[in-house]
């Protein structure tokens, strides 16, 4: 069996860090929990692909895994997980029955771990899918079905492509659901151009890029000047969360409500990309237009939501919880690389040895864009020209 170095999260390391900070999760340093480990990969089976991981992107569910804040997923998985949901790799071996990939191909991973009969995931690979091994590793063995060919001619650089395998399908899925739900209630003839807003984050950025590409008004509500500036260059209006104290009080929400009414001529937001929880939810709910849709794929701050259902009912507001795309949808989302999806990447590209620090800086919310982890020091000739 091949061996590799991979980052892991264990119940012992979670417990040790919690003891160090006296159980105060706000003081946890996730870099003390994410540890470099030795991993024995399974043998390459007839439908498997052996990958050399070139680059990966940081994902918030790794932060959750390290904090064990919503669920202790390492404990649920038997004591240890090897996380990672989004990566780009070179094919270095294939099983006898593999038909889509050959040695030397560049592939994208995805995180649909257990599709139901409709194609949507019940579990996520590298997180809560039993026996799954994620991508913060130098090598991986995965089923052919878990890979998509990387669109190397799409116009994005290597780090930008590495930012998208999880985020692009999620944004694509959320956008098609949100727009579809809204169109059940309001036809294009009744309201052709919509006001669409997201509250920060990589998925929210891509969500707005889709909305903008289809001719809608797009608004990015974020506390990061760098990320707002990047989206404003694409014609997406920025709103500074910090101008409203990140909605810490009722008065802050009222001030935000007034601002949104002004910039939308009193129409408010028809579609909102939100976490449906945490401090941004009351603000999003307050600016939801009549017939509006609030769609979410995250649970960054809590698993519990509280809202006034009477107001939602009277306004015909729909709250929609999503998870991740189908295998077909993942392939479709890849077609938007470069032409619609142009992600904002954090200014530092982290080395493999800096993976723990990258996640601590994600936890501290100090990054200027999507964090990219360069796993391989030596890159194949096929992608060297894509490194900026």
* Domain at 24, CATH number: 3.90.180.10
DSSP 3-state assignment of 26? helix
Residue where a domain terminates, one of 297, 321, 345: 321
Same-domain status, 191 and 293: yes
| Domain ranges, residue 154 | 3-166+325-384
Q: How many C-beta atoms surround the C-beta of residue 237 within 10 A? A: 17
DSSP 3-state assignment of 155? coil
Q: Which long-range contacts (CB under 8 A, 24 or more apart) does 230-238 make?
A: 230/344, 230/369, 231/205, 231/344, 234/209, 234/342, 236/208, 236/209, 236/212, 237/263
Same-domain status, 174 and 217: yes
- The reported pLDDT for the residue numbered 96 is 97
Q: How many C-beta atoms surround the C-beta of residue 145 within 10 A? A: 13
Same-domain status, 157 and 190: no
Same-domain status, 151 and 200: no
Same-domain status, 288 and 364: no
Structural contact between residues 158 and 348, judged by C-beta atoms closer than 8 angstroms: no
Residue with tokens 């920025």: 238
Structural contact between residues 218 and 212, judged by C-beta atoms closer than 8 angstroms: yes
Same-domain status, 295 and 353: no
Name the token pair of 6. 């991979």
CB burial class (10 A; 0-12, 13-18, 19+) of residue 365?
exposed
Partners of 243 in the beta sheet? none
Same-domain status, 316 and 342: no
Structural contact between residues 244 and 253, judged by C-beta atoms closer than 8 angstroms: yes
- The reported pLDDT for the residue numbered 166 is 92
Could you tell me the CATH number of the domain that includes residue 180? 3.40.50.720
Distance CA 127, CA 297 (A): 15
Same-domain status, 94 and 135: yes
DSSP 3-state assignment of 97? coil
Residue where a domain terminates, one of 273, 304, 321: 321
Backbone angles phi, psi at 268, to 5 degrees: 70, -165
Same-domain status, 102 and 189: no
Could you list the pLDDT tens digit for every one of the 388 residues in the chain?
A: 678 999 999 999 999 999 999 989 889 999 999 999 999 999 999 999 999 999 999 988 888 889 888 789 999 999 999 999 899 999 999 999 999 999 999 999 998 988 999 999 888 898 889 889 999 999 999 999 999 999 999 999 999 999 999 999 999 999 999 999 999 999 999 999 999 999 878 899 999 999 999 999 999 999 889 899 999 999 999 999 999 988 889 999 999 999 999 999 999 999 999 764 567 888 988 999 999 999 986 655 556 777 788 888 888 999 888 878 999 999 999 999 999 999 999 999 999 999 999 999 998 889 999 999 999 999 999 999 999 9
Strand pairing report for 345-351 and 3-10: unpaired
Domain total for the chain? 2
Same-domain status, 201 and 142: no
Same-domain status, 146 and 263: no
- Chain centroid to CA 43: how far? 30
Residue where a domain terminates, one of 271, 287, 321: 321
Same-domain status, 295 and 344: no
């Amino acid at each position: 069996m091949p061996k590799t170095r991979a980052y892991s999260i264990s119940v012992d390391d979670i417990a040790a860090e919690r003891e160090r900070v006296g159980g105060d999760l706000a003081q946890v340093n996730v870099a003390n929990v994410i540890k470099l480990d030795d991993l024995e990969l399974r043998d390459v089976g007839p439908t498997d692909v052996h990958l050399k991981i070139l680059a990966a992107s940081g994902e918030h569910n790794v932060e959750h895994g390290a904090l064990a804040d919503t669920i202790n997923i390492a404990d649920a998985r038997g004591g240890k997980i090897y996380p990672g949901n989004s990566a780009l790799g070179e094919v270095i071996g294939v099983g006898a029955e593999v038909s889509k990939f050959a040695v030397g191909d560049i592939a994208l991973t995805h995180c649909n771990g257990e599709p139901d009969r409709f194609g949507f995931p019940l579990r996520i690979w590298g997180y809560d899918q039993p026996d799954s091994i994620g991508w913060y590793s130098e090598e991986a063995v995965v089923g052919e079905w878990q890979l998509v060919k990387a669109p190397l001619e799409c116009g994005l650089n290597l780090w930008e492509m590495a930012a998208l395998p999880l985020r692009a399908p999620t944004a694509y899925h959320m956008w098609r659901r949100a727009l579809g739900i809204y169109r059940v209630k309001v036809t294009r003839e009744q309201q052709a151009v919509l006001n669409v807003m997201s509250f920060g984050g990589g998925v929210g950025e891509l969500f707005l890029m889709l909305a903008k590409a289809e001719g809608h008004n797009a608004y990015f509500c974020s506390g990061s000047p760098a990320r707002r500036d990047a989206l404003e260059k694409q014609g997406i209006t920025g709103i500074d969360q910090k101008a409203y104290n990140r909605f810490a009080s009722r008065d802050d929400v009222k001030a935000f409500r007034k601002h949104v009414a002004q910039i939308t001529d009193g129409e408010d937001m028809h579609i909102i990309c939100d976490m449906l929880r945490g401090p941004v939810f009351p603000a999003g709910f307050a600016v939801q237009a009549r017939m509006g849709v609030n769609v979410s794929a995250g649970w960054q701050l809590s698993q519990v939501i509280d809202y006034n259902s009477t107001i939602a009912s009277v306004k015909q507001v729909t709250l929609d919880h999503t998870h991740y795309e189908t295998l077909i949808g993942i392939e479709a989302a890849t077609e938007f690389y470069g032409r619609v999806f142009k992600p904002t990447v954090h200014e530092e590209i982290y080395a493999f040895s800096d993976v723990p620090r990258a996640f601590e800086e994600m936890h501290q919310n100090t990054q200027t864009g999507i964090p990219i982890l360069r796993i391989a020091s030596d890159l194949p000739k096929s992608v060297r020209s894509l490194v900026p």
